[in-house]
Structure 1
Amino acid sequence: MSTAQLASESELHPMEKRRRRLLVVVALIIILAGLIGILWWFLRGQYWIETNDAYVNGNISPVDSLSAGTIQQVLVENTEYVHAGQILAILQGNHSRLDMEKAQAHLAATVRQVRQDFAEVHALQQNIQAKNAMLRKLKMDLSRYQQSLPSGAISVIRIENTYNEIAAASAAVAEAQARLQGAEALVASTTVYDNPLVQQAVAAYEKADITWQRHLIRAPISGYLAQRSAYPGLKVKDGQRLFSVVPLNDLWVVANFKETAMRRIHPGQSVQLTSYYYGSEVHFHGTILGLLPGAGSAFSILPPQNATGNYIHIVERVPVRIAIPRAELRKYPLRPGLSMIAEVHWQSGHPHSVLQPLTITPKQGYETSIYHDEMERAQICANRIIQKNL
């Protein structure tokens, strides 16, 4: 063997040793990773069900124009916090004000007309009393005339004329009574306040007054403003969307779990929520409130129709509603639409049947009180108009 061949073998020997050491290290890493994975599965993985198909949801209250008109002024901007009842925009309200003033004049005229109807009833009653008195006088005269006829003091013609006068007076009384019945039909069993004609005019006025009040566009609830599409000079229609108000103190998560994992998911289980917004260092501790009564595809615009058998079967997703503690929301505010990672500890909590959800309506309910004063103000104004014209 030559000297060159011996030198080559001596150089390859250390390289072979390094390669073998590297293979051993890689094998040990793989074995260690497998052991760690198995250990993780036994200690945690088998007790948790995870999905990254989860999103923050919340109530987004629309603010629509409740009357047609042209926007005169916009008073708020996106991301601004607004209070319930706060004025967001003002419509040019000349047309609605003119309609209200027209209804006001009609109500005043109706009150005066009804007063005249009541006066007409009283006048007809007095007229009937006068005609009855005249009829009684004619009958008494006839009786005296008949007693005086044998003595020749009264002529037969006078008696005949009295008969005719009694007939005419009786007809006049009957006519007056008929007119009284017609007049009483308009006001019988009523006062000026509850007369049907007045009530009809009051309803028209209240409607016009409420329409005029609504030229001020108000926030229905307190929250943060979004989706502003109102601009000065914009002509809007009744029902056109102008703003959205989002309260951030009442949010929840909708997590879509695979149907293959749903047999272990029940209301009452605890959920660990991680938001991409804050990263993995912040965890929210939620609770499953209930399962939506159908897979996501059942609520799609075109739900699947698999009656033919010619379809591709995929694993469906079932939406699950998860509550977020309000204290954690105050500390780490979220926004509707943010992505979440939901991990359910299926052995935690006190699971309930899927037919017994824990979802309840908030104590204050989903309501707005900004429209309560509209009718009250309109009624006060209507009563004031009636009193003024009594």
Structure 2
Amino acid sequence: MSTTASSSAPDYSSREKQRRRLLMLVAVIVLIAVALGILWWFLRGQYWIETNDAYVTGNITPVDSLSAGTVKQVRVENTEYVHAGQILAALQGSQTRLAMEQAGAHLAATVRQVRQDFARVQALQQSVQAQLAERQKLEMDLNRYQQSLPSGAVSRIRIENTQNEIISAAAQVAEIQAKLRGAQAIVAGTTVSDNPLVRQAAAAFEKADINWQRRLIRAPISGYVAQRSAYPGLKVTAGQHLFSVVPLNDLWVVANIKETAMRHVRPGQAVQLTSYYYGHQVRYHGTVLGLLPGAGSAFSILPPENATGNYIHIVERVPVRIAIPARELVKHPLRPGLSMIAELHWKPGQKHSVLQPLTTTPSQGYESTVYRTELLQSQQRAEVIIRQNS
């Protein structure tokens, strides 16, 4: 018994020493890890703001019908790439063409009517001259009759009749001059082509012509087709949504950052972006462009009403716009709506004001040139009708 007790005592002592050494090793590792964590926090961690409440955003351009009609043909499908000006669909153009032809006939008739107005002015001017000459002749006859009255060569009745004819001639001159002023009011200071009546009819024709041109629904910009809701036989109204066109070469990220960290956010700061689409092996190097002028709740459909007794404080988030380099988008394309992880790096002492964003519009602005020639073509057609009827 004594031999067994004496042999177990050293074994217990040895295990106790090993346990203490293991605990000390664990404690040292923990202390080193804590020290490294604290060191990392002070040297780097506190200067990074991370959020996974970030999403890719872009210009999703709606393509609506600009006139009413029935869809005759659809030429594109979802996911297809289209160029600016490419025809996406066509409407049945019978009604719009008839309206254009009616407006063209009205323009032609108006031109001819205005030509008649100009001719009427000339005719009235000639009538005024003729009546003035007739009145002058009567006045000269009256003068001769009055000189011949003492000799008895002319009767007094003849003189009275001549005086009445002079009065009647003067009245006729006044009447024609009034008609002349009315006719001149329509054409004075104008030509046939720039007469107000002609321009009014030309504007109505141009409007009808543009409406006829818009039976062809074109892509306003280049991009990928999405949300196609047009199909043959669909009756559409002006303003009805038929397609969406999404350009993937101009995208950005909107990161919603907690208000408690916003004091460190400034335009121009670097941002590392990671997409769930590609995983952590692909990183985008973005730049803060600007801060939206309000928290997300301020732009919601139903803004919160906190003036009640059931108030619960919620940390708000402020949307921050982050640019993505174009070359990185070409190499690794993204789609609007994709989730992102944004890691924003800030430095102490940054003085750039949040009221001076770096956001700019493209060099040529957001513009579609598809509709630029519509009015010009309509005006040229109107001028042809005016020349043919002048």
**Fold match, TM over 0.5?**
yes
Question: What is the letter of the counterpart of residue 378 of structure 1?
Answer: S
Do the aligned partners of 1:269 and 1:349 also contact (CA within 8 Å) in 2?
no
2:362 counterpart residue number? 362
> Post-superposition shift, 1:15?
10
CA distance in 1 between partners of 2:14 and 2:93 (Å): 94
In the TM superposition, 1:1-390 aligns within 5 A as: 30-31=30-31, 33-308=33-308, 310-347=310-347, 352-390=352-390
Q: Secondary structure at the match of 1:186?
A: helix
Cα distance, 1:207–1:115 mapped onto 2, change above 3 Å: same
Q: Secondary structure at the match of 1:320?
A: strand
Cα distance, 1:58–1:357 mapped onto 2, change above 3 Å: same
> Post-superposition shift, 1:97?
0.5
> Post-superposition shift, 1:21?
8.8
Question: What is the letter of the counterpart of residue 73 of structure 1?
Answer: Q
CA distance in 1 between partners of 2:24 and 2:234 (Å): 75
User: Deviations along 1:9-64, whole A, 9 cap, x unmatched?
Assistant: 99999999998898777666655544443343234212211111111111111100
> Post-superposition shift, 1:103?
0.3
Q: Secondary structure at the match of 1:372?
A: coil
Do the aligned partners of 1:82 and 1:225 also contact (CA within 8 Å) in 2?
yes
Question: What is the letter of the counterpart of residue 136 of structure 2?
Answer: R
Identical counterparts, % of pairs: 73
User: Deviations along 1:64-97, whole A, 9 cap, x unmatched?
Assistant: 0000111000011111111111110000010000
User: Deviations along 1:215-271, whole A, 9 cap, x unmatched?
Assistant: 000011111111111111111111000011111111111001111111111111111
Do the aligned partners of 1:148 and 1:154 also contact (CA within 8 Å) in 2?
yes
CA distance in 1 between partners of 2:69 and 2:301 (Å): 34
> Post-superposition shift, 1:289?
0.8
> Post-superposition shift, 1:143?
0.9
User: Deviations along 1:195-218, whole A, 9 cap, x unmatched?
Assistant: 111111011111100100000000
Question: What is the letter of the counterpart of residue 116 of structure 1?
Answer: Q
Q: Secondary structure at the match of 1:280?
A: strand
User: Deviations along 1:98-147, whole A, 9 cap, x unmatched?
Assistant: 00000000000000000000100000000111111111111111111111
Q: Which moved more, 1:300-309 or 1:87-96?
A: 300-309
User: Deviations along 1:159-203, whole A, 9 cap, x unmatched?
Assistant: 111111111111111111111111111111111112111111011
CA distance in 2 between partners of 1:208 and 1:360 (Å): 38
CA distance in 1 between partners of 2:349 and 2:11 (Å): 66
CA distance in 2 between partners of 1:210 and 1:12 (Å): 101
CA distance in 1 between partners of 2:238 and 2:378 (Å): 20
CA distance in 2 between partners of 1:22 and 1:299 (Å): 58
Question: What is the letter of the counterpart of residue 373 of structure 2?
Answer: D
CA distance in 2 between partners of 1:350 and 1:306 (Å): 34
Do the aligned partners of 1:256 and 1:320 also contact (CA within 8 Å) in 2?
yes
Q: Secondary structure at the match of 1:38?
A: helix
Do the aligned partners of 1:270 and 1:348 also contact (CA within 8 Å) in 2?
no
Question: What is the letter of the counterpart of residue 290 of structure 1?
Answer: G
CA distance in 1 between partners of 2:345 and 2:206 (Å): 57
CA distance in 2 between partners of 1:256 and 1:178 (Å): 76
> Post-superposition shift, 1:322?
0.6
Q: Secondary structure at the match of 1:282?
A: strand
User: Deviations along 1:260-292, whole A, 9 cap, x unmatched?
Assistant: 111111111111111111111111111111111
Question: What is the letter of the counterpart of residue 251 of structure 1?
Answer: L
Question: What is the letter of the counterpart of residue 107 of structure 2?
Answer: L
CA distance in 2 between partners of 1:107 and 1:7 (Å): 124
Question: What is the letter of the counterpart of residue 177 of structure 1?
Answer: Q
TM-score, structure 1 as length reference? 0.93
Unaligned runs of 5+ in 1: none
CA distance in 2 between partners of 1:389 and 1:44 (Å): 81
CA distance in 1 between partners of 2:117 and 2:245 (Å): 52
CA distance in 2 between partners of 1:300 and 1:3 (Å): 84
RMSD: 2.6
Do the aligned partners of 1:267 and 1:351 also contact (CA within 8 Å) in 2?
no
Q: Secondary structure at the match of 2:280?
A: coil
Q: Secondary structure at the match of 1:96?
A: helix
